[in-house]
Amino acid sequence: MLNFLLAAPATVSEQDVVTPFEQALLLGLVFVIMFGLGAGLTLKDFLHALKRPKGLIVGFFTQYGLMPLLAFSLASIFLFQLPIEYAAPVAVGALLMGSVPGGTTSNLFTYFAKGNLALSVIMTINTTIWALLMTPLALFFYGGLMFKDSPEWEIPVTNIVVTIAVMLVPVILGMTIRRFSANIGAVLELLGGFFGLFFIGFLMATWVPRNWGLLTSTPWQVYLVAIGLGLFGMAATFGVARSLRINGVDARTIALETGILNGPLAIAIVLLTFGGNPAIGLILIVPAMYSLFIVIISTLVTLRFRKSNLAEEQKIPNLL
């Protein structure tokens, strides 16, 4: 097991950033969210998606090719302008945030944007299952590049593999229940989406006020990384999809799905993997801030995409 020996400032501790009660509640919410995610799909949906796999394939490569690269680039360019004892743990959180799969709230934003909801849901499940391999692989590769001269800052990939494996259990259980009862599965899917939004509301209502001093003292570089990961991720993904001749509706769907990462899962991985580490507060900064700002970013992008999708729908009768 690799050791993670980051020295955090004395003012930032696990108790300052997240209380034991919040840890238990957040982890419980993640399990419910992942359970609902699994309940939203069956094996038949996967087989149907394979008949037209282009969007699914493009989405996979943007999720695990583009996003980890973007996180690595943003962290390398901006975070390491700061003192190394601060920058290193924050960069670990940024790399982790960029390497997790898409989140369930992407399905809700895709629905409101009038995108391809089926593609969004299948992408979420697909990237979540692949996270067991791709998230540790991305962290191992980019973490090795970022901390190649500082082995004491290596990311505990083994711990993360175990954590993701545990988090996949409710996904599999949800898919199993959906297979035997479509009605119960549909209800669980709705609950998962609801708790995904509740997770963000919980952060805004409790975590932000209690950590307001920490947030106001956070350097602008950290804000840029947390906000840029979602905003630049969506823009770059949309450009890649369109360059590969993906139709506009699917390209916008892939952009939302790729850019809206699973913040609750990233936070759960931090809590379970770095729970006893004095630098956990700094590691949590980017995942927590990303989870807060992605709601605003996604809302603005969704409004823009909705107009585009509606415009394309209006053109269809003229083509018939």
* Tokens at 228, concatenated: 């840029």
Residue 5 pLDDT? 34
Q: For the domain that residue 220 is a member of, what is the CATH number?
A: 1.20.1530.20
Cβ–Cβ contacts within 10 Å for residue 95, how many? 25
* Contact of 103 with 196, CB cutoff 8 Å: yes
Check pLDDT > 70 for residue 58: yes
Note the pLDDT tens digit of each residue in 158-204.
Answer: 888 888 888 888 888 888 887 777 777 667 766 666 666 676 677 67
Per residue in 229-241, pLDDT (tens digit) is 999 999 999 999 9
171 Cβ contact list (under 8 Å, min separation 6) = 34, 35, 37, 38, 125, 128, 129
pLDDT score recorded for residue 1: 31
Beta bridge partners of 261: 102
Phi and psi at residue 168, to the nearest 5°: -80, -15
pLDDT band for position 208 (cuts 50, 70, 90): confident
More confident residue, 104 or 13: 104
Q: How many domains does the chain divide into?
A: 1
CA 188 – CA 251 distance, rounded (Å): 28
> How wide is the angle at C-alpha 153 spanned by C-alphas 150 and 157, nearest 5°?
125
Does any domain span residue 8? no
pLDDT over 90 (residue 45): no
Digit-coded pLDDT (tens) for 12-43 = 444 456 667 777 777 777 777 777 777 776 66
- Highest mean pLDDT pick, 22-31, 73-82, 147-156, 208-217: 73-82
| Torsion angle defined by CA atoms of residues 296, 297, 303 and 308, in that order, rounded to the nearest 10 degrees | 180
**Residue 293, domain member (yes or no):** yes
* Residues found in the chain: 320
> Is 144 domain-assigned?
yes
Residue 6 falls within a domain, yes or no? no
Does pLDDT of 46 surpass 70? no
Residue 97 lies in a domain: yes
Classify residue 202: in a domain, yes or no.
yes
183 burial (CB, 10 Å; 0-12 / 13-18 / 19+) is exposed
In this prediction, residue 119 has a pLDDT band, given cuts at 50, 70 and 90, of confident
SS3 279: coil
Q: Would you say residue 315 lies in a domain?
A: no
Span between the terminal Cα atoms of the chain, in Å:
62
Structural domain boundaries enclosing 271: 14-310
Q: Given CA atoms 64, 67, 71, 72 in this order, what sign does their dihedral have?
A: positive
Higher pLDDT, 10 or 69: 69
The mean per-residue pLDDT over the stretch 132-154 comes to 86
Chain-wide mean pLDDT for the chain? 82
317 within domain boundaries: no
Q: What is the pLDDT of residues 242-273, one digit of tens each?
A: 999 999 999 999 999 999 999 888 988 988 88
Nearest of 46, 80, 108, 38 to residue 260 by alpha carbon: 108
Q: Is 224 left (phi over 0), alpha (psi -120 to 50) or beta?
A: alpha
